[in-house]
Structure 1
């Protein structure tokens, strides 16, 4: 008769083709190469007076639909606020369709003529096929306008969309993630010059209007970090914490963080990693969304007596009753019978007083 199996030998095996802990990075890198290939193809059409920049936006939207969890809708749309202002058409909006309705829908499912409430947007991205200083400014202008739409802050410790814990908004959970994505650099503009221009414009902006990321596919990316109060004097890049624009970094000095630019690196991966981190911590507030985007109606009441419903006497009487013990699960804890308690003591060898 054989002995028991060697259960210690039941171990997972290393995947033979590639390390699976690099699989998500590989997906991002592959998608980025496909986008760059399509950008090169579209640019050839542009040289022949074909305006096909919109195709690159669609490629990127489709890529984000593949890379982000399915709970996040990705589409082109216009963002508007409850005060009647709009930021106009945006290339990529990451939106919460589970809790927020569209303000105005388009003629078809894929139409860009749809207006979404800014409260329901997690992120907005502007896409440029080829980046110039002028197009960078245009993209940042659109994103800053999105940041400046009326967007009520949501307290940082809000757990889910329909549960409010407190109203303190020194720390918030619903900042808008914003990014500029470019398929290539224009002739005569190098990556360092583009990054410097991006930083200089952000230095002119209030903290909550700062554009979060510049991502130039095939070249590099820049985002923001900060040093914790415990390491405020450290100059080591590895001590920087990615800024979420939610908590203490709202009140800290921001430091540019450059994405890796070695051959084989993926700026798209750096962008998606930052976006996923933002989505992980972000909780939006759909409170009174229909009221905010409705109209101010006046209520009316009957002009004669006799149309009201009086309080229910049985419910009023129940207010004087204790809730403890009504639940069977708490009955044995709060309402023990004396005999049962004495019996349990006897079983344990104790003496009843």
Structure 2
């Protein structure tokens, strides 16, 4: 299979590309390699992929329609996995235009390219952030998500609506995946677990919002990748049972589907920090702060539909996942940790 992965220099994109290349697929990577966070980390992720003969890379911006069309003209593409996006809730308060350029304009260009090039299946990243003001737990894709609390969430909800439009108008099978707090090796430095690790090692105080009363459905990267791979050969079909009078937002009369992809086990933020401290062999001073604009108190994924569709079942415990991350982090940054039974000295 020939697969275009946008955001291939990103956290999820690199891991997914590597898995697909190892399984014998052709992967066309596409990424602007922007400076939202450490560019060298993105370059180092790409170095993991370059040794594969079946990997081709385009360093371009999705918002550049001509550049994306050139890629499609040069390559034969069966499936598109759109992971490129301007991420981050708090950053959307500072730089809203970046979200429109990447998440709206860029995604429009992806949809148009799929439309004109006979793509068999479009899988795209949405986010648990779309649940916004919802409080019913666990979050279900059958619930309405009409009250986002950040611009980032609003752009992701918009992507889901745009995808449905193209499924309806042009019969393009589209699958949206609402990711729940992905973490792991080669991760994103703007994510809390990454910055916590850096600050703990450097002996700095960490900021804990909502006075620590937060819960997140932390999902290890390998489990996320497994879920995406399982969906590749399962493009959605029109749902003949879809009821226009009682519409289910997760499916449609068009070839359209939404899934949550998470761990289905929300963890208290303070327990997460304690586990991280254990594997680092250090304790950290905490500054407790109020809830920040755009944040939500808890996330919890109902993953039953994805389990029923493709047998998705997350297998990585938080303890195991954080140990993998810490081992990678100290190796990548050449750090020696205190010798404990739970940490590795390198």
What TM-score, normalized by structure 1, do the two folds share?
Answer: 0.30
Per chain length, whose mean CA-contact separation is higher, i.e. which structure has more relative contact order (CA < 8 Å, sep 6+)? 2
